[in-house]
Structure 1
Protein backbone atom coordinates (compact mmCIF):
# COMPACT_ATOMS: atom_id res chain seq x y z
CA UNK A 1 0.00 0.00 0.00
CA UNK A 2 1.12 3.56 -0.64
CA UNK A 3 2.26 5.98 2.05
CA UNK A 4 -0.78 8.17 1.32
CA UNK A 5 -3.17 5.27 1.96
CA UNK A 6 -1.40 4.26 5.17
CA UNK A 7 -1.47 7.83 6.44
CA UNK A 8 -5.15 8.15 5.59
CA UNK A 9 -6.29 5.06 7.48
CA UNK A 10 -4.00 5.96 10.39
CA UNK A 11 -5.54 9.45 10.58
CA UNK A 12 -9.05 7.96 10.71
CA UNK A 13 -7.99 5.52 13.43
CA UNK A 14 -6.31 8.18 15.58
CA UNK A 15 -9.08 10.75 15.16
CA UNK A 16 -11.62 8.11 16.06
CA UNK A 17 -9.82 7.52 19.36
CA UNK A 18 -9.89 11.18 20.39
CA UNK A 19 -12.66 12.77 22.44
CA UNK A 20 -14.19 14.62 19.48
CA UNK A 21 -14.31 11.38 17.49
CA UNK A 22 -14.52 13.39 14.26
CA UNK A 23 -13.62 11.31 11.22
CA UNK A 24 -15.52 13.20 8.54
CA UNK A 25 -13.48 13.66 5.34
CA UNK A 26 -13.07 17.41 5.97
CA UNK A 27 -11.48 16.81 9.35
CA UNK A 28 -9.19 14.11 7.98
CA UNK A 29 -8.21 16.52 5.21
CA UNK A 30 -7.25 19.13 7.80
CA UNK A 31 -5.26 16.54 9.75
CA UNK A 32 -3.28 15.51 6.67
CA UNK A 33 -2.96 18.95 5.07
CA UNK A 34 -4.86 18.04 1.90
CA UNK A 35 -7.96 19.46 0.24
CA UNK A 36 -11.46 18.31 1.12
CA UNK A 37 -11.90 17.08 -2.44
CA UNK A 38 -8.72 15.00 -2.21
CA UNK A 39 -9.89 13.47 1.07
CA UNK A 40 -13.28 12.59 -0.43
CA UNK A 41 -11.60 11.03 -3.48
CA UNK A 42 -9.30 8.99 -1.26
CA UNK A 43 -12.20 7.87 0.94
CA UNK A 44 -14.15 6.64 -2.08
CA UNK A 45 -11.05 4.86 -3.40
CA UNK A 46 -10.42 3.11 -0.10
CA UNK A 47 -14.08 2.16 0.23
CA UNK A 48 -13.72 0.26 -3.06
CA UNK A 49 -10.76 -1.60 -1.51
CA UNK A 50 -12.84 -2.55 1.55
CA UNK A 51 -10.66 -0.45 3.87
CA UNK A 52 -13.42 1.87 5.07
CA UNK A 53 -17.13 2.64 4.90
CA UNK A 54 -18.01 5.82 3.02
CA UNK A 55 -21.31 7.70 2.98
CA UNK A 56 -21.64 11.27 1.75
CA UNK A 57 -21.49 13.85 4.59
CA UNK A 58 -20.96 11.09 7.16
CA UNK A 59 -18.00 10.20 9.36
CA UNK A 60 -15.60 7.64 7.90
CA UNK A 61 -15.42 4.25 9.57
CA UNK A 62 -12.65 1.72 9.04
CA UNK A 63 -13.50 -1.85 8.14
CA UNK A 64 -11.77 -4.68 9.98
CA UNK A 65 -9.24 -4.76 7.16
CA UNK A 66 -8.65 -1.00 7.39
CA UNK A 67 -8.39 -1.09 11.16
CA UNK A 68 -5.78 -3.85 10.96
CA UNK A 69 -3.74 -1.79 8.50
CA UNK A 70 -3.95 1.30 10.70
CA UNK A 71 -2.86 -0.61 13.81
CA UNK A 72 0.08 -2.10 11.91
CA UNK A 73 1.29 1.38 10.94
CA UNK A 74 0.67 2.72 14.46
CA UNK A 75 2.66 -0.21 15.92
CA UNK A 76 5.68 0.54 13.74
CA UNK A 77 5.47 4.27 14.45
CA UNK A 78 5.38 3.82 18.22
CA UNK A 79 8.11 1.18 18.23
CA UNK A 80 10.40 3.53 16.33
CA UNK A 81 9.59 6.33 18.77
CA UNK A 82 10.50 4.03 21.65
CA UNK A 83 13.77 2.93 20.03
CA UNK A 84 14.91 6.44 19.08
CA UNK A 85 14.08 7.71 22.56
CA UNK A 86 16.01 4.88 24.21
CA UNK A 87 19.09 5.00 21.99
CA UNK A 88 19.49 8.70 21.36
CA UNK A 89 17.41 10.44 24.05
CA UNK A 90 15.79 12.51 21.31
CA UNK A 91 12.98 14.96 22.10
CA UNK A 92 9.37 13.78 21.94
CA UNK A 93 8.77 15.99 18.91
CA UNK A 94 11.84 14.70 17.05
CA UNK A 95 11.08 11.02 17.64
CA UNK A 96 7.56 11.61 16.32
CA UNK A 97 8.84 13.35 13.20
CA UNK A 98 11.39 10.63 12.41
CA UNK A 99 8.93 7.84 13.12
CA UNK A 100 6.51 9.40 10.61
CA UNK A 101 9.13 8.65 7.94
CA UNK A 102 10.37 5.29 9.19
CA UNK A 103 6.98 3.67 9.81
CA UNK A 104 6.32 3.25 6.09
CA UNK A 105 9.68 1.62 5.34
CA UNK A 106 9.56 -0.99 8.10
CA UNK A 107 8.80 -4.65 7.50
CA UNK A 108 6.84 -6.70 10.00
CA UNK A 109 10.04 -8.69 10.64
CA UNK A 110 11.99 -5.56 11.59
CA UNK A 111 9.14 -4.26 13.74
CA UNK A 112 9.13 -7.54 15.67
CA UNK A 113 12.92 -7.36 16.11
CA UNK A 114 12.67 -3.81 17.46
CA UNK A 115 9.93 -4.87 19.86
CA UNK A 116 12.00 -7.82 21.12
CA UNK A 117 15.07 -5.59 21.58
CA UNK A 118 13.00 -3.15 23.67
CA UNK A 119 11.45 -5.92 25.78
CA UNK A 120 8.07 -5.78 24.00
CA UNK A 121 6.96 -2.45 25.51
CA UNK A 122 3.26 -1.72 25.90
CA UNK A 123 3.61 2.09 25.76
CA UNK A 124 5.71 4.54 23.77
CA UNK A 125 7.45 7.59 25.35
CA UNK A 126 4.29 9.68 24.88
CA UNK A 127 2.29 7.12 26.87
CA UNK A 128 0.42 5.87 23.81
CA UNK A 129 -0.27 2.11 23.76
CA UNK A 130 1.73 -0.02 21.33
CA UNK A 131 -0.29 -2.70 19.49
CA UNK A 132 1.20 -6.18 19.56
CA UNK A 133 2.19 -8.18 16.49
CA UNK A 134 -1.42 -9.33 16.06
CA UNK A 135 -2.67 -5.74 15.92
CA UNK A 136 -4.15 -5.87 19.41
CA UNK A 137 -3.88 -3.29 22.18
CA UNK A 138 -3.75 -5.34 25.36
CA UNK A 139 -3.77 -2.48 27.87
CA UNK A 140 -6.85 -0.79 29.32
CA UNK A 141 -6.91 3.01 29.18
CA UNK A 142 -8.38 4.45 32.37
CA UNK A 143 -6.78 7.88 32.03
CA UNK A 144 -8.65 11.18 32.03
CA UNK A 145 -7.78 14.61 30.69
CA UNK A 146 -6.07 16.91 33.18
CA UNK A 147 -8.98 19.30 32.70
CA UNK A 148 -11.30 16.69 34.26
CA UNK A 149 -9.27 16.08 37.42
CA UNK A 150 -10.24 16.98 40.98
CA UNK A 151 -8.58 19.56 43.20
CA UNK A 152 -6.38 18.33 46.02
CA UNK A 153 -5.37 15.05 44.39
CA UNK A 154 -2.16 13.58 42.97
CA UNK A 155 -2.02 12.19 39.45
CA UNK A 156 0.51 10.40 37.27
CA UNK A 157 0.96 11.56 33.68
CA UNK A 158 -0.09 8.74 31.38
CA UNK A 159 -0.31 10.30 27.89
CA UNK A 160 0.76 13.43 26.05
CA UNK A 161 -1.59 13.51 23.06
CA UNK A 162 0.05 15.93 20.67
CA UNK A 163 2.61 16.22 17.91
CA UNK A 164 3.27 19.94 18.40
CA UNK A 165 6.90 20.96 18.89
CA UNK A 166 6.20 23.90 21.22
CA UNK A 167 3.96 21.75 23.40
CA UNK A 168 6.70 19.15 23.87
CA UNK A 169 9.32 21.83 24.53
CA UNK A 170 7.10 23.29 27.25
CA UNK A 171 6.53 19.84 28.76
CA UNK A 172 10.26 19.08 28.77
CA UNK A 173 11.06 22.39 30.48
CA UNK A 174 8.54 21.75 33.26
CA UNK A 175 8.92 18.02 33.86
CA UNK A 176 5.60 17.12 32.27
CA UNK A 177 6.49 13.70 30.95
CA UNK A 178 5.08 10.19 30.92
CA UNK A 179 5.27 8.62 34.38
CA UNK A 180 5.84 11.81 36.36
CA UNK A 181 3.54 12.78 39.24
CA UNK A 182 1.76 16.11 39.71
CA UNK A 183 -0.65 17.63 42.23
CA UNK A 184 -3.80 19.48 41.14
CA UNK A 185 -4.08 22.46 43.47
CA UNK A 186 -6.90 24.39 41.77
CA UNK A 187 -9.45 24.06 38.95
CA UNK A 188 -10.60 27.37 37.50
CA UNK A 189 -13.70 25.95 35.83
CA UNK A 190 -15.10 29.26 34.58
CA UNK A 191 -11.84 30.17 32.87
CA UNK A 192 -11.02 26.57 31.90
CA UNK A 193 -7.61 26.61 33.57
CA UNK A 194 -5.87 24.18 35.92
CA UNK A 195 -3.20 24.99 38.49
CA UNK A 196 -0.75 22.19 39.21
CA UNK A 197 2.30 21.61 41.38
CA UNK A 198 5.12 19.58 39.84
CA UNK A 199 8.77 19.38 40.87
CA UNK A 200 8.06 22.04 43.53
CA UNK A 201 6.93 24.47 40.82
CA UNK A 202 3.43 25.88 40.44
CA UNK A 203 2.15 26.03 36.84
CA UNK A 204 -1.14 27.39 35.50
CA UNK A 205 -2.29 25.60 32.34
CA UNK A 206 -5.10 26.53 29.97
CA UNK A 207 -7.47 24.11 28.27
CA UNK A 208 -5.28 23.85 25.16
CA UNK A 209 -2.83 21.96 27.38
CA UNK A 210 -5.10 20.29 29.91
CA UNK A 211 -7.23 18.68 27.19
CA UNK A 212 -4.24 16.78 25.73
CA UNK A 213 -2.40 15.84 28.93
CA UNK A 214 -3.89 12.63 30.29
CA UNK A 215 -3.40 11.30 33.80
CA UNK A 216 -4.31 8.54 36.22
CA UNK A 217 -4.99 9.13 39.89
CA UNK A 218 -1.95 8.37 42.03
CA UNK A 219 -1.72 7.31 45.66
Structure 2
Protein backbone atom coordinates (compact mmCIF):
# COMPACT_ATOMS: atom_id res chain seq x y z
CA UNK A 1 0.00 0.00 0.00
CA UNK A 2 1.08 3.59 -0.60
CA UNK A 3 2.29 5.94 2.11
CA UNK A 4 -0.83 8.09 1.61
CA UNK A 5 -3.15 5.15 2.23
CA UNK A 6 -1.25 3.99 5.31
CA UNK A 7 -1.27 7.51 6.75
CA UNK A 8 -4.99 7.85 6.06
CA UNK A 9 -6.06 4.69 7.87
CA UNK A 10 -3.64 5.46 10.69
CA UNK A 11 -5.18 8.92 11.12
CA UNK A 12 -8.69 7.45 11.26
CA UNK A 13 -7.64 4.89 13.86
CA UNK A 14 -5.89 7.46 16.05
CA UNK A 15 -8.74 9.98 15.83
CA UNK A 16 -11.25 7.24 16.64
CA UNK A 17 -9.29 6.44 19.80
CA UNK A 18 -8.98 10.05 20.92
CA UNK A 19 -12.03 11.47 22.67
CA UNK A 20 -11.30 15.00 21.43
CA UNK A 21 -11.47 14.10 17.72
CA UNK A 22 -13.83 12.37 15.34
CA UNK A 23 -13.30 10.69 12.01
CA UNK A 24 -15.30 12.80 9.58
CA UNK A 25 -13.31 13.45 6.38
CA UNK A 26 -12.82 17.13 7.27
CA UNK A 27 -11.09 16.24 10.55
CA UNK A 28 -8.91 13.65 8.86
CA UNK A 29 -8.02 16.24 6.20
CA UNK A 30 -6.98 18.70 8.91
CA UNK A 31 -4.86 16.09 10.68
CA UNK A 32 -3.05 15.13 7.46
CA UNK A 33 -2.77 18.65 6.02
CA UNK A 34 -4.78 17.88 2.88
CA UNK A 35 -7.92 19.40 1.39
CA UNK A 36 -11.40 18.21 2.34
CA UNK A 37 -11.96 17.15 -1.26
CA UNK A 38 -8.78 15.05 -1.24
CA UNK A 39 -9.86 13.38 2.00
CA UNK A 40 -13.29 12.57 0.59
CA UNK A 41 -11.76 11.14 -2.59
CA UNK A 42 -9.39 8.99 -0.56
CA UNK A 43 -12.23 7.78 1.66
CA UNK A 44 -14.24 6.68 -1.37
CA UNK A 45 -11.19 4.93 -2.82
CA UNK A 46 -10.48 3.04 0.41
CA UNK A 47 -14.14 2.11 0.78
CA UNK A 48 -13.89 0.37 -2.59
CA UNK A 49 -10.90 -1.57 -1.22
CA UNK A 50 -12.89 -2.63 1.87
CA UNK A 51 -10.59 -0.70 4.20
CA UNK A 52 -13.28 1.60 5.56
CA UNK A 53 -16.98 2.40 5.49
CA UNK A 54 -17.94 5.67 3.83
CA UNK A 55 -21.25 7.53 3.95
CA UNK A 56 -21.63 11.16 2.94
CA UNK A 57 -21.44 13.58 5.90
CA UNK A 58 -20.79 10.70 8.32
CA UNK A 59 -17.73 9.74 10.34
CA UNK A 60 -15.43 7.23 8.68
CA UNK A 61 -15.18 3.75 10.18
CA UNK A 62 -12.39 1.33 9.48
CA UNK A 63 -13.23 -2.23 8.56
CA UNK A 64 -11.41 -5.08 10.28
CA UNK A 65 -8.95 -5.08 7.38
CA UNK A 66 -8.44 -1.33 7.68
CA UNK A 67 -7.91 -1.56 11.43
CA UNK A 68 -5.36 -4.33 10.94
CA UNK A 69 -3.45 -2.14 8.46
CA UNK A 70 -3.53 0.87 10.80
CA UNK A 71 -2.25 -1.14 13.77
CA UNK A 72 0.52 -2.64 11.65
CA UNK A 73 1.76 0.84 10.70
CA UNK A 74 1.43 2.06 14.30
CA UNK A 75 3.39 -0.98 15.55
CA UNK A 76 6.30 -0.18 13.22
CA UNK A 77 6.20 3.51 14.12
CA UNK A 78 6.31 2.91 17.86
CA UNK A 79 8.98 0.23 17.62
CA UNK A 80 11.18 2.65 15.70
CA UNK A 81 10.55 5.30 18.34
CA UNK A 82 11.65 2.88 21.06
CA UNK A 83 14.76 1.86 19.13
CA UNK A 84 15.85 5.40 18.23
CA UNK A 85 15.31 6.54 21.81
CA UNK A 86 17.36 3.63 23.16
CA UNK A 87 20.26 3.85 20.71
CA UNK A 88 20.63 7.58 20.18
CA UNK A 89 18.84 9.24 23.12
CA UNK A 90 16.98 11.42 20.63
CA UNK A 91 14.25 13.80 21.81
CA UNK A 92 10.62 12.71 21.79
CA UNK A 93 9.90 14.99 18.86
CA UNK A 94 12.89 13.72 16.90
CA UNK A 95 11.99 10.06 17.32
CA UNK A 96 8.43 10.79 16.21
CA UNK A 97 9.56 12.73 13.14
CA UNK A 98 12.00 10.04 11.99
CA UNK A 99 9.60 7.19 12.72
CA UNK A 100 6.99 8.83 10.50
CA UNK A 101 9.38 8.17 7.61
CA UNK A 102 10.73 4.78 8.68
CA UNK A 103 7.38 3.13 9.40
CA UNK A 104 6.46 2.95 5.71
CA UNK A 105 9.73 1.33 4.62
CA UNK A 106 9.76 -1.38 7.30
CA UNK A 107 8.88 -4.99 6.58
CA UNK A 108 7.07 -7.15 9.10
CA UNK A 109 10.25 -9.22 9.36
CA UNK A 110 12.32 -6.18 10.40
CA UNK A 111 9.63 -5.00 12.81
CA UNK A 112 9.73 -8.39 14.53
CA UNK A 113 13.53 -8.25 14.76
CA UNK A 114 13.41 -4.75 16.29
CA UNK A 115 10.83 -5.91 18.81
CA UNK A 116 12.94 -8.91 19.80
CA UNK A 117 16.05 -6.73 20.16
CA UNK A 118 14.17 -4.39 22.49
CA UNK A 119 12.70 -7.24 24.55
CA UNK A 120 9.22 -6.97 23.03
CA UNK A 121 8.27 -3.69 24.75
CA UNK A 122 4.64 -2.94 25.55
CA UNK A 123 5.01 0.85 25.36
CA UNK A 124 7.01 3.40 23.37
CA UNK A 125 8.88 6.34 24.99
CA UNK A 126 5.73 8.49 24.83
CA UNK A 127 3.83 5.87 26.82
CA UNK A 128 1.76 4.78 23.82
CA UNK A 129 1.00 1.03 23.65
CA UNK A 130 2.83 -0.98 21.00
CA UNK A 131 0.61 -3.51 19.16
CA UNK A 132 2.01 -7.02 18.96
CA UNK A 133 2.75 -8.89 15.72
CA UNK A 134 -0.90 -9.94 15.50
CA UNK A 135 -2.08 -6.34 15.59
CA UNK A 136 -3.34 -6.61 19.16
CA UNK A 137 -2.89 -4.15 22.01
CA UNK A 138 -2.63 -6.40 25.05
CA UNK A 139 -2.25 -3.71 27.72
CA UNK A 140 -5.18 -2.28 29.68
CA UNK A 141 -5.30 1.52 29.73
CA UNK A 142 -6.17 2.77 33.22
CA UNK A 143 -4.71 6.25 32.74
CA UNK A 144 -6.55 9.56 33.02
CA UNK A 145 -5.93 13.05 31.72
CA UNK A 146 -4.06 15.29 34.16
CA UNK A 147 -7.04 17.66 34.00
CA UNK A 148 -9.19 15.00 35.71
CA UNK A 149 -6.88 14.29 38.65
CA UNK A 150 -7.47 15.14 42.30
CA UNK A 151 -5.62 17.67 44.43
CA UNK A 152 -3.12 16.29 46.92
CA UNK A 153 -2.57 12.99 45.12
CA UNK A 154 0.60 11.70 43.51
CA UNK A 155 0.54 10.24 40.02
CA UNK A 156 3.02 8.81 37.53
CA UNK A 157 3.16 10.08 33.95
CA UNK A 158 1.92 7.30 31.68
CA UNK A 159 1.43 8.97 28.31
CA UNK A 160 2.30 12.18 26.42
CA UNK A 161 -0.27 12.37 23.64
CA UNK A 162 1.18 14.86 21.18
CA UNK A 163 3.50 15.22 18.23
CA UNK A 164 4.18 18.93 18.76
CA UNK A 165 7.84 19.96 19.08
CA UNK A 166 7.22 22.85 21.50
CA UNK A 167 5.20 20.58 23.78
CA UNK A 168 8.00 18.03 23.94
CA UNK A 169 10.62 20.75 24.42
CA UNK A 170 8.62 22.07 27.39
CA UNK A 171 8.26 18.57 28.82
CA UNK A 172 12.00 17.93 28.50
CA UNK A 173 12.88 21.19 30.25
CA UNK A 174 10.55 20.48 33.16
CA UNK A 175 11.06 16.75 33.70
CA UNK A 176 7.65 15.78 32.34
CA UNK A 177 8.72 12.36 31.16
CA UNK A 178 7.06 8.97 30.88
CA UNK A 179 7.41 7.19 34.21
CA UNK A 180 8.15 10.28 36.30
CA UNK A 181 6.03 10.97 39.42
CA UNK A 182 4.16 14.25 39.92
CA UNK A 183 2.10 15.71 42.77
CA UNK A 184 -1.11 17.52 41.86
CA UNK A 185 -0.95 20.53 44.15
CA UNK A 186 -4.02 22.45 43.00
CA UNK A 187 -6.84 22.25 40.46
CA UNK A 188 -8.07 25.62 39.26
CA UNK A 189 -11.32 24.31 37.81
CA UNK A 190 -12.79 27.70 36.87
CA UNK A 191 -9.72 28.67 34.85
CA UNK A 192 -9.03 25.09 33.71
CA UNK A 193 -5.48 25.06 35.05
CA UNK A 194 -3.55 22.56 37.15
CA UNK A 195 -0.61 23.18 39.47
CA UNK A 196 1.80 20.29 39.82
CA UNK A 197 5.01 19.67 41.72
CA UNK A 198 7.77 17.74 39.97
CA UNK A 199 11.44 17.54 40.95
CA UNK A 200 10.71 20.09 43.73
CA UNK A 201 9.47 22.61 41.14
CA UNK A 202 5.95 24.02 40.96
CA UNK A 203 4.46 24.33 37.48
CA UNK A 204 1.05 25.60 36.41
CA UNK A 205 -0.34 24.03 33.24
CA UNK A 206 -3.36 25.04 31.17
CA UNK A 207 -5.84 22.61 29.68
CA UNK A 208 -3.95 22.48 26.36
CA UNK A 209 -1.32 20.54 28.30
CA UNK A 210 -3.39 18.81 30.97
CA UNK A 211 -5.68 17.24 28.37
CA UNK A 212 -2.79 15.49 26.59
CA UNK A 213 -0.68 14.48 29.60
CA UNK A 214 -2.01 11.20 30.97
CA UNK A 215 -1.19 9.74 34.35
CA UNK A 216 -1.87 6.81 36.64
CA UNK A 217 -2.40 7.13 40.37
CA UNK A 218 0.42 5.68 42.44
Q: Distance in 1 between matches of 2:19 and 2:177?
A: 21
**What displacement does 1:20 show?**
2.2
Superposition deviation, residue 21 in structure 1: 4.1
Partner of 1:106: 106
Aligned to 2:87: 87
CA distance in 2, matches of 1:158, 1:17: 16
Give 1:25's aligned residue. 25
* Map of 1:195 onto structure 2: 195
1:151-201 CA-partner distances (Å, limit 9, x unpaired): 000000000000000000000000001000000000000000000000000
Query: Take 1:163 and 1:50, find their aligned partners in 2: how far apart are those partners?
Result: 29
Q: Which position in structure 2 is the counterpart of 1:38?
A: 38
Matched, 1:119 2:154: no
Instruction: Name the CA distance, whole Å, in 2 between partners of 1:46 and 1:160.
Output: 30
Q: Which position in structure 2 is the counterpart of 1:137?
A: 137
CA distance in 1, matches of 2:52, 2:168: 33
Question: Structure 2 regions of 5+ residues with no counterpart?
Answer: none
Deviations 1:80-119 (A, max 9, x none): 0000000000000000000000000000000000000000
- Following TM superposition, where does structure 1 have runs of at least 4 consecutive aligned residues deviating by more than 2 angstroms? none
Give how far 1:19 is off.
1.1
Match for residue 158 of structure 2? 158
Give TM-score scaled by structure 2 length: 1.00
> Structure 1, unaligned stretches of length 5 or more?
none
Tell me the equivalent position of 2:69.
69
Residues in 2 aligned to 1:17 and 1:175: alpha-carbon distance in whole angstroms: 27
